[in-house]
Amino acid sequence: MTVRSVYITGTASFLPGQPVLNDEMESVLGQAGDRPSRARRTILRSNGIKSRHYAIDPATGKATHNNAQLTAAAVKKLDQTIGLPPIDVLACGTSIPDQVMPNHAAMVQGELGLPACEVMATSGVCLSGVTALKYAYVTVAGGLHSTAVATGSDCPSPVLSASNFSAEIDAKVEALEKSPEIAFEKDFLRWMLSDGAGAFLLQDKPREGATNLRIDWIETFSYAGEMETCMYAGASKNEDGSVTGWTAMTPRERETDSVFSIKQDVRLLNENVIHYTVEKPLPGIVQKYQLRPDDIDYFLPHYSSEYFRDKVYAGLLNAGFDVPQDRWFTNLTTRGNTGAASIYIMIDELAQSGDLTPGQRLLCWIPESGRFSSGFMHLTVA
């Protein structure tokens, strides 16, 4: 089979509302429990995020967009910017779609009112945006289609809102009298995650007059065969490391344990994330593609917190791949951790900056702590 070159010929991102500063977060998301979160300031000092966006009207507390609408807004922005040709494939990745069925891509197609096309939705956590992009890339590279749109989005704010924890707080009055706040593994992510969406147009030829990014390769790895669950929603984690999903619970159990909240085993994350997402997969990639650190003009790391920046660098050094931090590009501090959308929003900002020149090479790293997965992507400015 002949493999064709594939180019990202247009990029767009959509961040809802005005930036929300650190001191405004709890008023937008709401206070869970009888007093403000004690963990919030510590977490914010550590993660380094200064502002982020929520699909919430701060005046009313009502949602301004759902996930499908957020994603559609990014695609519409892409169309307004470059004028989209007819779309053969729409591939959409997200961590938490608005519903269990139908799939997220079908709902985005519905929001856009697109005519018949192939749709694909990928699930997971942060890596789902990249797996959607890889699906779109493979269909164009294989000659099955000539035009595809890939998206990454996340809209966790409805799940992060304080109202979701009221039943648990009411049910655990005695325990909460001793520690009057929700458990740290749930509170932790309320100050880490935010809303956003990105969209890329993929074509088999560069677009005239544009900053085109040739996709050289995309590699993803899952280590779920070796590691237990670390980040999860719609389930409870048991002492033996297994999880019990929401379908095995009564409605009462789901409600009183905030089962649909997003949770993370922070100890497991800190002890394993760099090894499984950098140190373990990267040497094989370096060998396969004969990568050299000096050839990388920009390293785009999707880390969830500035806390991990130096740890990521140490992981690169341990893998024998030293890309100095002055060649890194990240917008975490101003855009927040938007999960599956993060790498799209990063690439869009860099592409729109005017700083890219033909021949420059970009290496993107996208980890996922769900059950420890990792993705690397190599792009060349065409």
- What does the alpha-carbon distance between residue 12 and residue 200 come to, in Å, rounded to a whole number? 7
Q: Which residues contact 237 (CB under 8 A, 6 or more apart)?
A: 229, 243, 263, 265
Phi, psi for residue 256 in degrees, rounded to 5: -80, -5
Q: How many residues does the chain have?
A: 382
Q: How confident is the model at residue 258 (pLDDT cuts 50, 70, 90)?
A: confident
> Which pTM does this prediction carry?
0.94
- What does the alpha-carbon distance between residue 204 and residue 202 come to, in Å, rounded to a whole number? 7
Return the HEC string of the chain.
CCCCCCEEEEEEEECCCCCEEHHHHHHHHCCCCCCCCCCHHHHHHHHCCCEECCCECCCCCCECCCHHHHHHHHHHHHHHHHCCCCCCEEEEEECCCCCCCCCHHHHHHHHHCCCCCEEEEECCCCCHHHHHHHHHHHHHHCCCCCEEEEEEEECCHHHHCHHHHHHHHHHCHHHHHHCCCCCHHHHHHHCCECCEEEEEEEECCCCCCCCCEEEEEEEEEECCCCCCCCEECCEEECCCCCEEEHHHCCHHHHHHCCCCCCEECHHHHHHHHHHHHHHCCHHHHHHHHCCCHHHCCEEEECCCCHHHHHHHHHHHHHCCCCCCHHHECCCHHHHCECHHHHHHHHHHHHHHCCCCCCCCEEEEEEEECCCCEEEEEEEEEC
Portion of the chain with pLDDT greater than 70, in percent? 93
Report yes or no: 220 and 132 within 8 Å, Cβ to Cβ: no
Structure tokens at 1: 């089979």
Per-residue pLDDT, 178: 45
Q: What is the mean pLDDT of the chain?
A: 93
pLDDT digits (tens, 9 = 90+) for 295-352: 999 999 999 999 999 999 999 999 999 999 999 999 999 999 999 999 999 999 999 9
Sign of CA dihedral 160, 38, 53, 105: negative
Residue-wise over 300-312: b if at least 16 C-beta within 10 A, else e? bbbbbbeebbeeb
pLDDT digits (tens, 9 = 90+) for 210-220: 999 999 999 99
- Catalogue all structural domains in the chain, each as residue range(s) with its CATH number: 7-212 (3.40.47.10), 216-227+263-381 (3.40.47.10)
pLDDT digits (tens, 9 = 90+) for 144-200: 999 999 999 999 999 988 777 655 544 443 443 444 334 566 677 889 999 999 999
Q: How confident is the model at residue 283 (pLDDT cuts 50, 70, 90)?
A: very high
More confident residue, 274 or 164: 274
Q: What is the mean pLDDT of residues 59-68?
A: 96
pLDDT digits (tens, 9 = 90+) for 222-240: 999 999 999 999 999 999 9
Amino acid identity, position 166:
S
Residues facing 219 on adjacent strands: 376
Q: What is the mean pLDDT of residues 9-33?
A: 93
- What does the alpha-carbon distance between residue 65 and residue 195 come to, in Å, rounded to a whole number? 10
More confident residue, 177 or 201: 201
pLDDT digits (tens, 9 = 90+) for 119-145: 999 999 999 999 999 999 999 999 999
Per-residue pLDDT, 185: 61
Q: What angle do CA 218, 219, 222 make, to 5 degrees?
A: 145
Q: What angle do CA 71, 76, 79 make, to 5 degrees?
A: 135
Per-residue pLDDT, 328: 98
Q: What angle do CA 234, 343, 381 make, to 5 degrees?
A: 155
- What does the alpha-carbon distance between residue 96 and residue 88 come to, in Å, rounded to a whole number? 25
Portion of the chain with pLDDT greater than 90, in percent? 85
Neighbour tally for 37: CB within 10 Å: 22
